[in-house]
Amino acid sequence: MSTTATTSTATGGSGVRPFGRKDKLGYLTGDLGNDFMFIFASAYLMVFYTDVAGLNAGHVGTLFLVVRFVDAFTDIGWGRFLDRHRPRPAGRFRTWIGRMALPVGVASALLYMPFIADWAYAAKFSYAALTYLLWGSVFYTMVNISYGSMVSVVSDDPGERSALSVFRGAGASVAGLIVSLLPPLLIYGTIDGSSQVIPTNLVFVAIGFSACAVVMHRFCFRWTLERVPAPPQREQRGLMRSLGALLGNRALLSLISANLILMLGALLTSALAPYLWLEYFNDGQLSGPAQVVNYLPALLLAPIATALAVRLGKKEVLCVALLVTSAVYFWVYFAGITDPWVFIGLTLLAGFGVGAFNLLVWAMITDVIDDGEVRTGQRDAGTVYAINTWARKVGQAIAGGLGGYALAIVGYQSGTEDQSQATVDGIYAVATLVPGIIYLLVVLMLLVWYPLSRRTVLENGSVLARRRSERQE
């Protein structure tokens, strides 16, 4: 089916701009906006809380964990609202990206206010909890759930959806490269031979990325269009009944579980990276090049990712790629790498598995949504995406929580310039061995549990195309 035909069928006329480069670039800018905030927070919010605000690492880990479980209500509640409310003229999902662009940027900047360092401990911890809840569980939820759900209505063509997924992944990688390269050059400085955080610089960099996020979300709103209407709802199911039906979906359960576990590995590595480079390698500025290699693989894979997925299958490609990633992390741990550039080179190789997953996972979500519609006739795009997003946030929270707990277990002392050798060795072990185990577990979950092979995805697409054709006759 051609793009023009798809657009005309979806909208009931030919007056809507056909799907094209503007949609793909607009969708890319949406993830730039999200990840300017999200990746920066993943890498540096813990550092701000411990080394600037003076909060205990274990307390911060608990905060991350508790707020992410609050998201079970806000994420799923917002996804259900998107599925059930009457669409605005600008679209069911796109409208909210435009409306919430400024509030989410302001909330992001408020996370990093340096004046709380002088407050009493209870007061600054309360401020941290309130602003983190406001940003992550309210405004970021409204923008991110709307943005992710929108992919299923920009086009109903599988190839175009895969292209959107790849452009989204490329946007995340570009954001990751920028966040990895620039902040370490500004945030860290060497004082008396020791690499340390410069608090004022960290704050200004955080505010700058928050402002850039606002601009990117506005571009996303202006450049994308919603073309595909939702199918007629068979009935208005209650919340618990809807969730029960979704949680009985093997494809959804297995994918969100794999997503959660993978996020745990990726974000645990990210959370420990600043401490690894400050304490193990004693050079915080090298964390910039080290973080860059986490995003380069996705950019290198982007030109061929769609073709690989179409030819071999998304599930099949990811199992091979993540198996290689797991093997590399095991080798790095047992080899005890001390040369920072050798370490960077090996993590570049390991990054291809995670990069492939990040490029293709959003197309896999649309596969799950299609599978649910084939089985039930209901298309719960917002709710499905919300459940998946919440799982990823839980992975983030557990990673942040475990990062804080791991630092406490290995004996890390906040505000202390010199850590013990046992602590330094412990940081290295957590940053290398644990991800190796986690990525191997993801491979096993996809192989054994996730049912949507290439063949099944193609069969589901044929069924839905036939149903839409019958409704138009």
> For the stretch 144-179, what's the b/e string if a residue is b when 16 or more beta carbons lie within 10 angstroms of its beta carbon?
bbbbbbbbbbbbbbbbbbbbbbbbbbbbbbbbbbbb
The confidence score (pLDDT) of residue 320 equals 94
In whole angstroms, give the CA distance from residue 304 to residue 299.
10
The confidence score (pLDDT) of residue 396 equals 64
In whole angstroms, give the CA distance from residue 284 to residue 327.
27
The confidence score (pLDDT) of residue 4 equals 36
Instruction: Tell me if 167 is assigned to some domain.
Output: yes
**pLDDT tens digits, the chain, 473 residues: what are they?**
333 333 333 333 446 788 888 999 999 999 999 999 998 998 889 889 988 898 998 898 888 878 877 877 888 889 888 887 777 777 888 999 999 999 999 999 999 998 999 999 999 999 999 999 999 999 999 999 999 888 888 887 777 888 898 899 888 888 988 887 788 888 887 776 666 778 888 999 999 999 999 999 999 999 999 987 665 555 555 555 555 656 678 898 899 889 888 888 887 787 788 889 888 988 877 876 777 777 788 888 988 988 888 888 889 999 999 999 999 999 999 999 999 999 999 999 998 998 899 888 888 888 888 888 888 777 777 788 888 777 776 666 666 667 778 888 888 887 677 888 889 898 998 889 989 999 999 999 999 999 999 889 888 878 877 876 776 66
Residues in the chain: 473
- Find the domain containing 248 and state its range: 20-230+239-465
Identity of residue 269:
T
In whole angstroms, give the CA distance from residue 139 to residue 57.
25
How many structural domains is the chain composed of? Answer: 1
Q: How is residue 155 written in tokens?
A: 């086009």
Instruction: Tell me if 316 is assigned to some domain.
Output: yes
H or E, element range at 303? helix 296-312
- CB neighbour list of residue 13: distance below 8 Å, 6 or more residues apart: none
Question: Which residue from 80, 82, 97, 107 is spatially nearest to 143, judged by alpha carbons?
Answer: 97
The confidence score (pLDDT) of residue 407 equals 84
Instruction: Tell me if 100 is assigned to some domain.
Output: yes
Question: Which residue from 329, 323, 351, 334 is spatially nearest to 436, judged by alpha carbons?
Answer: 329
Alpha helices in 48-157 (DSSP H): 57-84, 94-110, 121-133, 140-149, 151-154
Work out the number of other CB atoms within 10 angstroms of the CB of residue 426. Answer: 20
Instruction: Tell me if 471 is assigned to some domain.
Output: no
The confidence score (pLDDT) of residue 235 equals 53
In whole angstroms, give the CA distance from residue 210 to residue 401.
24
Residue 239 in contact with residue 80, Cβ under 8 Å?
yes
Burial of 262 (0-12, 13-18, 19+ CB in 10 A): buried
What torsion do the CA atoms of 289, 293, 299, 302 make, to the nearest 10 degrees?
180
Query: DSSP letter at 134?
Result: I
Angle at 349 between CA 344 and CA 353, to 5 degrees: 130
pLDDT in tens, 181-200: 788 888 887 776 666 778 88
In whole angstroms, give the CA distance from residue 332 to residue 115.
40
Angle at 323 between CA 321 and CA 326, to 5 degrees: 115
Residues forming beta bridges with residue 91, ordered by sequence position? 88
In whole angstroms, give the CA distance from residue 247 to residue 313.
24
| CA distance from start to end of the chain | 17
Per-residue CA distances from 168 to 40, 148, 270, 324, 441 (Å)? 17, 10, 20, 23, 25
In whole angstroms, give the CA distance from residue 68 to residue 75.
10
pTM reported for the whole predicted model: 0.71
The confidence score (pLDDT) of residue 82 equals 86
Burial of 463 (0-12, 13-18, 19+ CB in 10 A): middle
What torsion do the CA atoms of 406, 409, 414, 420 make, to the nearest 10 degrees?
-110
Question: Which residue from 356, 313, 294 is spatially nearest to 165, judged by alpha carbons?
Answer: 356
Identity of residue 370:
D
Instruction: Tell me if 82 is assigned to some domain.
Output: yes
H or E, element range at 267? helix 250-275
In whole angstroms, give the CA distance from residue 460 to residue 248.
18
Question: Which residue from 364, 384, 377 is spatially nearest to 451, judged by alpha carbons?
Answer: 364
Q: How is residue 61 written in tokens?
A: 């880990």
In whole angstroms, give the CA distance from residue 47 to residue 273.
10
Residues forming beta bridges with residue 194, ordered by sequence position? 191
pLDDT in tens, 241-271: 555 656 678 898 899 889 888 888 887 787 7
pLDDT in tens, 116-126: 999 999 999 99
Per-residue CA distances from 307 to 163, 301, 462, 469 (Å)? 10, 10, 19, 27
Q: How is residue 358 written in tokens?
A: 């990040």
Instruction: Tell me if 386 is assigned to some domain.
Output: yes
Instruction: Tell me if 399 is assigned to some domain.
Output: yes
CATH number at residue 145: 1.20.1250.20
Q: If you average pLDDT over every residue of the chain, what do you get?
A: 84
Instruction: Tell me if 5 is assigned to some domain.
Output: no
Identity of residue 372:
G
